[in-house]
Amino acid sequence: MTDTWNGRYWDLPWSLVDGCTPCSPGCDHCWSAGIAHRFYREGEPGHCMGILTDDNGRFNGDIITHPERLSIPLKRRKPTVYAVWNDLFHEAVPDDFIDQVFNEIGFHAIHYTFLILSKRPQRMAEYFKRLQTVASHPRNPFPNVWSGLTVCNQQEADEKMPVFLQVPGKKFLSIEPMLGPMDLTDLGPVKENDAHGWSCLWDTPLRSRIDAVILGGETGPGARPMHPDWVRSVRDQCTVSNIPFFFKEWGKHRPGLKDLWGVDYERRLKLMPDRYEIMNAGRLLDGRTHDELPWVKS
């Protein structure tokens, strides 16, 4: 069972793609360039040294796929929820490689669960649409796949959700880092890519569109704050629509500095830096955690 105390909604990462390029305001403080540069400096075996970052540590735009890691899930015996990193639907990831990933997921690793998060719903929707026409992929939609869209504000949701909703199968929304208030109930009609093009309109309730919502604030240097009312609003929208809601963390900026027992936050933080930050202040919303994950079986 996935251990969510630290805000993780998956068990293990499945790192198939190194590198990524920004495509959203939420990417402003992305860690992928930093990770690529760290591996570059440390000379991690299997990483192509010097390819992912320039001499100043800036990501240089090269994307590297790792076919040698495709069989990793099969090495685990117990049920595992894998989060696929980085953006599998980045423009530079070849279709052939994505085909290999879904062959693995759909035929060999069918007993594991995969969360596939992207900020590029156009390619994701087009890929799954193409799969539907391929006879060798009878599992599409894949019963063990949850497709996720990451957005950071209303504008991004308005632009990307109509396309994302065309992806078949189970879907979740990841609002990370949350950078503004969001109304998920007003996303407009779903555009469906039917035989005649992007023309068919459906207006369906939120519940039938999205199966879960994950929400979190920004972490790390330069993190932007998240207003508690933005979080409450999305939580309440999920409650009304009966959608599982998982509150990952406040991020670097936490509202209110008292913990469950009324003890000063800063004092506690000095006593138990890492664990306290996440467990007792970092994930509480109105005095409790919100840990609903439909893919986690208790």
Q: Are 63 and 120 in contact (CB under 8 A)?
A: no
Q: Which residues pair with 194 in a beta bridge?
A: 197
CB of 59 to ligand SF4, least distance (A): 8
The answer to whether residue 32 forms part of the interface with ligand SF4 (CB under 6 A) is yes
CA angle in degrees (0–180, nearest 5) for 238-239-240: 90
Nearest to 214 by CA among 6, 3, 7: 7
**CA 171, CA 137: separation in Å to the nearest integer?**
19
The nearest distance, CB 21 to ligand SF4, in angstroms, is: 6
Cα–chain center distance at 44: 25
Figure out which of the listed residues 12, 13, 30, 80 binds ligand SF4, where binding follows CB under 6 A: 30
Supply the minimum distance, in Å, between the C-beta of residue 180 and ligand SF4: 17
State whether residue 150 is helix, strand or coil: strand
Q: Identify which range of 23-31, 50-58, 216-224, 233-241 contacts ligand SF4 by CB under 6 A.
A: 23-31
Q: Which stretch binds ligand SF4 (CB under 6 A): 25-33, 156-164, 241-249, 277-285?
A: 25-33
20 sits near ligand SF4 (criterion: CB under 6 A)? yes
Pairing of strands 81-85, 113-118: parallel
Written as one letter, the residue type at 291 is: D
The smaller minimum CB distance to ligand SF4, of residues 151 and 182, is found at: 151
Q: Which of residues 110-129 bind ligand SF4 (CB under 6 A)?
A: 119
Residues 248, 231: contact at Cβ < 8 Å? no
**Cβ proximity to ligand SF4, 65 vs 86, nearer residue:** 86
User: C-alpha dihedral over 282, 284, 286, 291, to 10 degrees?
Assistant: 140
Cβ closer to ligand SF4: 35 or 206? Answer: 35
The nearest distance, CB 24 to ligand SF4, in angstroms, is: 6
The least CB distance from residue 20 to ligand SF4, in Å, is 3
x/- letters, 43..82, toward ligand SF4 (CB under 6 A): ----------------------------------------
Which tokens hold the place of 216?
């979190």
- If binding is defined by CB under 6 A, does position 87 make contact with ligand SF4? yes
The least CB distance from residue 237 to ligand SF4, in Å, is: 24
Q: Which residues of 42-62 are buried (b: 16+ CB within 10 A; e: fewer)?
A: eeeeebeeeebbeeeeebbee
| Number of alpha carbons in the 13 Å side-chain half-sphere of residue 137 | 20
The answer to the question of residue 86 lying near ligand SF4 (CB under 6 A) is yes
Helix, strand, or coil (residue 223): coil
Q: How far is the CB of 7 from ligand SF4 (least distance, A)?
A: 17
CA neighbor of 255 nearest in space, from 287, 210, 233: 287
When the beta carbons of 86 and 219 are compared against ligand SF4, the nearer one is 86
Supply the minimum distance, in Å, between the C-beta of residue 67 and ligand SF4. Answer: 20
The answer to whether 248 contacts ligand SF4 (rule: CB under 6 A) is: no
The residues of the shown chain that bind ligand SF4, judged by CB under 6 A, are: 20-23, 27, 30, 32, 86-87, 119
